[in-house]
Amino acid sequence: MSDPFDLPFFDEPGGEPAAPKPAARPPERSAGGGIAARAMAARGGQTQAPDYLSGLNPEQRLAVETTEGPVLVLAGAGTGKTRVLTTRIAHILATGRAYPSQILAVTFTNKAAREMKSRIGVLVGEAVEGMPWLGTFHSIGVKLLRRHAELAGLKSSFTILDTDDVIRLIKQLIQAEGLDDKRWPARTFANMIDGWKNKGYGPKDIPEGDARSFANGKGRELFQAYQDRLQTLNACDFGDLLCLPIRMFREHPDVLAEYHRKFKYILVDEYQDTNTAQYMWLRLLAQRPKSRHDTAPQGGANRPSDRSDAPAQASAGRRDAAVSEKEPQQINICCVGDDDQSIYGWRGAEVDNILRFEKDFPGAAVIRLERNYRSTAHILGTASHLIAHNEGRLGKTLFTEHARPDDSKVMVHAAWDSEEEARAVGETIEQLQRPDENNRRHNLNDMAILVRASFQMREFEDRFVTLGLNYRVIGGPRFYERQEIRDAMAYFRVVAQPADDLAFERIVNTPKRGLGETTIRQLHDIARARGVPMLNAAEDIVETEELKPKPRASLRNVVENFRRWQKMLDNTPHTELAEIIFEESGYTDMWKNDRSAEAPGRLENLKELIRSMEEYESLRSFLEHVALVMDAEQNAEQDAVNIMTLHSAKGLEFETVFLPGWEEGLFPHQRSLDEGGRSGLEEERRLAYVGVTRAKRNLHIWFVSNRRIHGLWQSTIPSRFLDELPEAHVEVEESGSSYGGYGGAFAPGRGGNYGGGAGRQNPYGASRFDNVGSGSFSNTYATPGWARAQANKTSATDRNWGTRSGAGVERIGYGETDSLRGAGRGSVKGRTIEGELVAKSVADTPSAFSVGDRVFHQKFGNGNVAAIEGNKLTIDFDKAGQKRVLDGFVTGV
DNA sequence: GCCTTGAGGTTTTTT
DNA sequence: ACCTCAAGGC
């Protein structure tokens, strides 16, 4: 309880919170219509609370009603975060504190924005349509830029490039510099640029070291060249959508002041995911200058150009004036987030932003939501215990008031390999889907498989196809990233924005028109030399003799097509135009004539594309949408199991959740450990926490002993996170029998991948199952090294799992000691972590081997020990290269 | 200019 | 194991 990070305000969980500060000053607008009257009533007391407040618990209600001043809502998983946000907005609107257009509500993903919009719609009806400033950071950035494009050096018709465009563009630049694009991959540089922009850096701001590390030290020049190129293309990338508004606000305080006047309330969702640029963006908008002069209106010219926020009532103008003249506006920013769910550090998110909130906004109210409405006590207990291993938390503990005795514990299962894992999960799903004795059955929609890395999905998909089990992959290969869709979009882009050279280049020879590299290069050169778009260059060059007759005719045809389509743009329904373009360009024919297996699907996707265009009023607005929203709506019609990554699962919940692949190297992911060290590990742990907290009633965690990585079979060891699960809430599956027959998976030598029939040793040390069954596998225990290891065993010996044949997995017992990481390293201040479930991934005892030892491994052959970490050995094998294995797997030679 | 073949790199997560 | 890219033949 005595958490050092505990913040002063709310130290009695569940108790009646005292207001941190006067909830608010009296409402600024007095009198007036019914809305204000309702507001007064709402403020007056609980008795007359409006409906929308009635279902809230005290903490939620406080978060909703503390409308004035800075507020940080720390909302644990499943504590009604979205509800608080949406109700808060409804409350602000209903009490007349602001008009819909005066609320800036930022989310991180499009999904979240949609969700919020629809839920606000439920609360306030039509009024939600008047909220133009509800959206993602990026979409709001676009809106700002379109409006003030000239201040950012763009024309308001600018194009937004996606990752693919960016990489192609950078590649051109690298080649133009005469650099080897193999040694300096465009993708790498694109990532670097993205990283810089996440920090708000322009070419001049990047650290010298960064600049030197790429392109023979020309990183900075290349970055600058890239920005220049974007400007000539009248284009910007994703990062610019954040950086350019920031720059604009800094360089044009008058414009910033406009928005200071405009936005009365700022709300930020998933604050823990904001990166430095987003943080600066928010600070600029939220932090009003102290001096009154800065906020004072500077004349009509600076008024926001859209007047949608100018209420019709005469009182409105008065109110506006009153606010800005009487007192400097205070900062009404409300950030909602959960430090324990910060999982985007790898792309620049700064958990620190949320940890620092109170310093940034002095006097901020901090409200914790810890009452969980989603999961069983077992699941919450598991999640809390797991996340308690992290340092640097603000500290929250979820609780539920709805523990039921018959809730099932969190299940941990083992499988031989990933195929087995998929098969077993499939069987479990089928079992759940079958009607039970009460004739109730689980919907597939209520189940989800959450994987660490997308390559894990394939195995499940394969299995489900075989079983005929419906599934849907969420966030997988994105609709708008498919080749045919991108081609189609490129056609549209050239039609709508004739200067879009990247799009032009993409499709000028798709389908094949005999316009190869040579022709393109010529076009390029002319366009560059004359400073005109390539389409114009093409238009001119076909009138000359410079091209050979064939390409010349072909190119003329292309140009004529585009000119014709451009003329049709304004007087032809855009879906119709799209079909015409596909037909006349020969694009549909191209796929019709394609004999490959994917071709029909691609044609189908093109139809789907046209269908999805119907919702938009014009081709332009459609393009705008697509640039920002790379995912297409999924049809939730059909009952299907959900498969997705842990990252894309954030914010969702399911009755039953499967978490496969809890193995060292995969989860926690090796790369996170390598690149992020301790904080990388903590982020992985938060990811595990996110995964666990997605489950409402049932949670199944899996790990396998063998996994194919980069096409090679690797033996794996259970994730350390398994060590960190609390015994009290977790049950290890005893045997395969309960799910009928996959227990045989543990038979030695199965699958032929494993060096003949010698079988597999128990990687977790000896267990009482080691002597069960026939003993061909046991010979390895006779080695001297093993004997020594045995002799050194401590109480930890008892906590081991067997994975022997037929037995599946069984928990044998628990050590009485604390977790090796909990108490041993004191990873959590002032908190004892007890009763952990143990699947040893790191031995308490030193390895029986030492660096340099010559060893033999059943599968990899002979090698030398290169490094030792606990019981994990890094071995340079003569044939197989360097591998990490458990010492139990090798024998001294 | 286009297509086939072979080599080499690659796979965490995404607005 | 898979995909992308370059080289070489047509």
Give the percent of chain A with pLDDT over 70: 73
How large is the average pLDDT for residues A103-126?
90
CB A486 within 8 A of CB A480: yes
pLDDT number for residue A659: 96
Token pair of A442, please? 């689980």
Closest to A171 measured CA to CA, from A162, A183, A181, A161: A181
Closest to A36 measured CA to CA, from A25, A27, A45: A27
Token pair of A215, please? 């392109």
Choice among A694, A697, A831, A840 that is catalytic: A694
pLDDT single digits (tens) A378-422: 999 999 999 999 987 887 888 888 777 788 999 999 998 888 899
Cis peptide before A668 (omega within 30 of 0): yes
Q: Band of the pLDDT at A734, cuts 50, 70, 90?
A: low
Closest to A69 measured CA to CA, from A362, A351, A331, A338: A331
pLDDT number for residue A245: 95
> Strands, DSSP E only, in A661-742?
695-709, 712-715, 725-726, 730-732
Token pair of A578, please? 């799209």
pLDDT single digits (tens) A58-83: 999 999 999 999 999 999 999 999 99
- Residue owning tokens 């997705």: A644
SS3 A709: strand
Choice among A258, A270, A487, A501 that is catalytic: A270
How large is the average pLDDT for residues A802-806?
24
Token pair of A580, please? 């015409």
CB A606 within 8 A of CB A588: yes
Nucleotide nearest A513 (Cα, C1'): B1
Cα A68 to chain center, whole Å?
Answer: 31
CB A236 within 8 A of CB A244: yes
H or E element, residue A875: strand A872-877
As a whole number of Å, the CA-based R_g of chain A is 31
* Of the candidate ranges A494-498, A686-690, A738-742, A850-854, the one whose mean pLDDT is the lowest: A738-742
> How far from each other are the two terminal CA atoms of chain A, in whole angstroms?
53
User: In chain A, which residues from 706 to 745 place their CB closer than 7 Å to nucleic acid strand C?
Assistant: 708, 710-711
Binding residues of A for ATP: 75-82
CB A354 within 8 A of CB A394: yes
Choice among A341, A428, A714, A858 that is catalytic: A341
Closest to A717 measured CA to CA, from A624, A603, A836, A843: A843
**Mapped to the 3 state alphabet, what secondary structure does A139-198 carry?**
HHHHHHHHHCHHHHCCCCCCEECCHHHHHHHHHHHHHHCCCCCCCCCHHHHHHHHHHHHH
Looking at strand B, which nucleotides approach a protein CB closer than 7 A? 1-3, 10-15
Closest to A603 measured CA to CA, from A612, A616, A594: A594
Choice among A6, A82, A768, A793 that is catalytic: A82
> Strands, DSSP E only, in A10-109?
71-75, 103-107
pLDDT number for residue A631: 65
Predicted structure pTM score: 0.74
H or E element, residue A464: helix A455-467
CB A37 within 8 A of CB A72: no
CB A804 within 8 A of CB A773: yes
Burial of A337 (0-12, 13-18, 19+ CB in 10 A): buried
Nucleotide nearest A167 (Cα, C1'): C4
CA atoms of A289 and A337, how far apart (whole Å): 26
- Pairwise pLDDT comparison (A16 vs A63), residue with the higher score: A63
Is the pLDDT reported for residue A779 higher than 60? Answer: no
Indicate the length of chain A as a whole number. Answer: 893
Is the pLDDT reported for residue A757 higher than 70? Answer: no
pLDDT single digits (tens) A241-269: 999 999 999 999 999 999 999 999 999 99
Residues engaging strand B (CB under 7 angstroms):
A 108-110, 136-139, 163, 185, 187, 194, 238, 343, 346-347, 452-455, 475, 509, 512-519, 551, 628, 630-631, 645, 647-648, 669, 671-672, 675-676, 710-711
Is the pLDDT reported for residue A581 higher than 50? Answer: yes
Please confirm, yes or no, whether A81 is among the known catalytic residues. Answer: yes
CA atoms of A559 and A584, how far apart (whole Å): 12
CA atoms of A22 and A20, how far apart (whole Å): 7
pLDDT number for residue A523: 87
CA atoms of A797 and A765, how far apart (whole Å): 7
Distances (CA, A) of A266 to A30, A84, A126, A239, A859: 22, 14, 20, 22, 59
Choose from A321-325, A746-750, A784-788, A803-807 the range with maximum mean pLDDT.
Answer: A321-325
A71-75/A725-726 β-pairing: unpaired
Q: Across chain A, what does the average pLDDT equal?
A: 75
CA atoms of A62 and A309, how far apart (whole Å): 28
Strand C–CB A752 distance below 7 A? no
Is the pLDDT reported for residue A55 higher than 90? Answer: no
Q: What sign does the CA torsion over A157, A160, A164, A169 have?
A: positive
Nucleotide nearest A712 (Cα, C1'): C1
H or E element, residue A136: strand A134-136
CA atoms of A75 and A77, how far apart (whole Å): 7
Q: How far is the CA of A619 from the C1' of C10 (A)?
A: 42
Q: How far is the CA of A562 from the C1' of C3 (A)?
A: 33
CB A159 within 8 A of CB A497: yes
Nucleotide nearest A550 (Cα, C1'): B1
CA angle A5, A11, A15 (to 5 degrees): 150
Q: How far is the CA of A548 from the C1' of C10 (A)?
A: 20
Closest to A106 measured CA to CA, from A307, A282, A339: A282
φ, ψ for residue A817, nearest 5 deg: -80, 170
CB A764 within 8 A of CB A839: yes
CA atoms of A626 and A496, how far apart (whole Å): 14
